[in-house]
Structure 1
C-alpha cells in the first residue's frame, strides 16, 4: 500500500515538474499565456514584473480553493491539492534559484514544445486521478453561478485568459496562446488514452480451459467463458473473453501458439478499464 502511494505521488511530482519546466522555459519568457491560473499569473507578471509567477499562482490557487469550499462545496482529493499547490511551489523555486530563461525565442517552437512538455506532465497528473487545480475550479464556479456546462466553462475560462493577453501582449502572441491551449487539449487526451490502452481478447480454442488457467494463474487476470454456437458446424463452443495489458497479451499469444496453433483469436484496443485489477470505479 505504501509503495503504491509513493509511486502515485512520485508520478504526480514528475508531472508537475514537467509542467513547471514548460511554463518557465517556454511559455513565460515568450509571454504565452496558455490558459489556467498560470496563464493569469504570466499576464500579471508582465504588468507587474515584481510579482513572481509562482507566488501569484500559489495565491490564486489558495483563493480558488477557499471560494470553492465556501460556495460550491468543493471536494478536492489530497492528490489534487498536492499537485496544484506543489506546482506553484516548484514554479516559485525555479524562479528563485534557477534564473529561468527562454530556451527559444521562436514563438511557434515555444508553443509546440511548451504544449508537448506540459501535456506530458498534465497527462501524468490526470492519470493518477488528480489535477493541477486552477482552471478546473474556475470552470466549476462558472458552472454553478452561470449554469454553463463544465466543458463550455473550461473553454470560456481559457478564452477569457487569452482575450486578456491580447491587451497585454498583442494579438500575435495571444493567437499562439490559443494554439497552445488547443494543442494541450488534443495531446493530453491522446496521451491519457495511450497510458490506459489495454487489449480486449476473444479466443475460440479446443484448449480453452487450459488457456483460461494460464490467464488466471500466470497472468493473474480474470477471464470469462461465453457460450456460443458455430454457425457452420452447429456445435456448442466456449468463447473465452479477457482484458489484459499489452505486455500480457504478448505472453498470452506465445502460450496460445504453443498450446493450440489452430486457435481463433480476435484482439481489440480498449482505452479505459474499470474494475478489479485495473482502475477502481469508485474513484471516477
Structure 2
C-alpha cells in the first residue's frame, strides 16, 4: 500500500468518525459546537426545507470563494476534498439514518460522545495533512487582516457561532455548545499528541555493541553516539541515543534487561519527531 492510498483511507475513516459524532450526537441535541456544521444547525430552523448536509455544502462553497478572493488560491487539494466529503457524509447520514430525536435524553452525554468522536475523527484527518476547511477560512481572514493569532481567530469564530446558537436554541444549549468548542479543542490536541508520541532514550551500557545492533537490526531505528565522562569514576563512556515508539521502547527495555541489568537509561516523552524514518518534515 503506497503512502497516498494509506492517507486517503485514514482520511475517510476520520471523516466518517467526525461526521458520525456531529450527526448522531450534536445535531439531534441542537449542540452547535462551532464550525460549519454548527453554523448550519443555527441556520436550519430559518430554512427548514434545506438539510444540514446541503447547507454545509453551500456554505463551504461560499467560504472557499471568499478564501480565494481574500487569502490566496493555494488551498490543498486534500483539504478541499475533505471539506466537501465531510458535508457529503452527513448528507448521506441524513438520507439513510434519519434522526427524529436525540439518542438519549442526557444532553451532556450527547455532547461528550459527539465531541470525542468528532475529535478523534478530526485528529486523524489533520494527521493526513488535510482539514475540513469551513470556518478555518474565516479564521485565516481575521488572522490576515486583524493580525490576531490563528488559534484565537478560530476561537472567536466558533464563539460567535455559539452566541447565535444561544439565540436560536436558548441559553442552556448555547452554553453547552461553548463547552463543546472547548472540549473539542482540548481533545484534538491531546489525541494528535498521542498519535505522535515517541520515546527518546539515552543509555549507557557495557553491552553497547549488542544494544546498537538490536536498535538498528531489530527495531529498524537509527542511533546517535556521544562520548561522555562519569563524574564519579572519571571513566570515558559511550552514550547511545535513539528515538522509538512505545512498543519499540518496551522491546528495547526488555532486551537491555536481558543483556545488561546494570545499564543506565533515561527516557523522555517526545511529542513530535520529524525526518527520516518518522513524519516528513514538509507535512
TM-score interval for Structure 1 and Structure 2 normalised by the shorter chain:
over 0.9
Alignment match, 1:123 = 123
Check whether the contact 1:94–1:100 (CA below 8 A) recurs between aligned residues: no
Alignment match, 2:75 = 76
| Structure 1 Cα separation of the partners of residues 70 and 47 of structure 2 | 30
The answer to which of 207-216 and 81-90 deviates more is 207-216
Unaligned runs of 5+ in 1: none
| CA deviations over 1:66-118 (Å, ceiling 9, x no partner) | 22122211432222122211101001111122213421232111111111111
Alignment match, 1:154 = 154
| Structure 2 Cα separation of the partners of residues 183 and 152 of structure 1 | 15
CA drift of 1:230 comes to 0.5
Greater than 4 Å deviation, 4+ residue runs: none
The answer to which of 28-37 and 92-101 deviates more is 92-101
Unaligned runs of 5+ in 2: none
Alignment match, 2:187 = 187
| CA deviations over 1:176-208 (Å, ceiling 9, x no partner) | 000101110111111111111111101101121
CA drift of 1:55 comes to 0.9
Counterpart secondary structure, 1:234: coil
| Structure 2 Cα separation of the partners of residues 22 and 282 of structure 1 | 30
TM-score by structure 2 length?
0.96
- Does the alignment pair 1:269 with 2:252? no
- Does the alignment pair 1:109 with 2:91? no
| Structure 2 Cα separation of the partners of residues 185 and 143 of structure 1 | 18
- Does the alignment pair 1:141 with 2:159? no
- The alignment yields a C-alpha RMSD, in angstroms, of 1.3
| Structure 2 Cα separation of the partners of residues 228 and 145 of structure 1 | 52
Counterpart secondary structure, 2:226: strand
TM-score by structure 1 length?
0.95
